[in-house]
Amino acid sequence: MDLLTVNQDKCLRCGICVECCPSCILSMGENGPECNFDRGCMSCGQCVAICPVGALDNKYTPLEKQRPVTMPVLDSATAYEFLRMRRSVRNFKPQPPTDEEITRLLDIARYAPTAGNSQGMYYIVIRDAEKIKAIADAVADWMEAEVEAGTENKRYFMTVLRAYRERGQDIIARHAPCLIFSLARRLNITGVSNAEQSWAYAELFAPTIGLGTTIAGFIQSCGIAGYQPLLDLIEIPPKHKVVGTLMVGYPKYKYQRMPERQHLKVEFR
Ligand SMILES: Cc1cc2nc3c(=O)[nH]c(=O)nc-3n(C[C@H](O)[C@H](O)[C@H](O)COP(=O)(O)O)c2cc1C
């Protein structure tokens, strides 16, 4: 089967698919859109998704698997409130979320943008409290090594270590009942950016299914740095690397107010 199939009866030759192809590999021929370089297709599905009459099919992103858009879902005022209401949740009930809840959270994260439509995020979910404690300890060990090496994070890590080691405050894993590690193939140079995008989706969706989340920055930095004791604890599969970490659980408290942010700084030129 060719990459593209055009329904000649439906195609309007409007050229919208050609304009919207992110790889610029389509052109308009006499019989509708043609692909000039099949291997350049990133399987994003844009050409099929944008066609106003459903005339185009792409073997990588079949028309029959594309759900019609049902807009408008949110008006801008509701969307604005919804986006502003998201909070980093750092106080959790001890019970971890279920497989089903975590699957729902990660399922929507698949729809976040990825560079070149690379997708391919792979998740490891840890809900064993002892293992999470061991992970936080390993991260503290890594921070100590960073402090000794005099890296640029030295002063910040010293503050974290004082809280964690001397005052016994779990500033690293926040006693989260669940940690999710996102992994990418080792050669994927945009893995960390992809993970950040996917966390944004997960974090916004979480409260709609009764969950709270916070990005576990210290743990993910340690993972991204490739600290072997941490990678051993999470039993990372071969040819993969850590690109992100998220804490997840049922929120212990409910936020009542929305904090203000710094002023918007923008220049129009
Ligand atoms: C890259 C990144 C790393 C973060 N790491 C941590 C972390 O390790 N621990 C933590 O409690 N919060 C962490 N956060 C959450 C921020 O502290 C939080 O987003 C910020 O204080 C604003 O609060 P809000 O998310 O409730 O709006 C992180 C956020 C980002 C974007």
Atom number of ligand 1 nearest to Cα 87: 26
pLDDT digits (tens, 9 = 90+) for 103-114: 999 999 999 999
Q: Hey, where are the domains in the chain?
A: 4-65, 79-249
d(CA 178, CA 126): 6
CB of 91 closer than 6 A to ligand 1?
A: no
pLDDT beneath 70, residues of the chain: 1
Predicted pLDDT of residue 246: 98
The answer to whether 139 touches 86, Cβ cutoff 8 Å, is no
Q: Shortest CA distance to 122 belongs to which of 172, 194, 61?
A: 194
pLDDT, residue 1, reads: 67
Pairing of strands 212-215, 122-126: unpaired
- Nearest to 110, CA basis, from 49, 47, 199, 22: 199
Topology of the domain comprising 4-65: Alpha-Beta Plaits (3.30.70)
Q: How far apart are CA 48 and CA 22, in angstroms?
A: 13
For residue 38, what pLDDT is reported?
A: 87
Instruction: Please state which CATH class domain 79-249 belongs to.
Output: alpha beta
Angular region, 92: left φ>0, alpha ψ -120 to 50, beta rest: beta
**Buried/exposed code over 99-129 (b: 16+ C-beta within 10 A; e: otherwise):** eebbebbbebbeebebeebbbebebbbbbee
The pTM (predicted TM-score) of the whole model is 0.94
Nearest CA to ligand 1 atom 22: 88
Report whether residue 218 contacts ligand 1, using a CB cutoff of 6 Å: yes
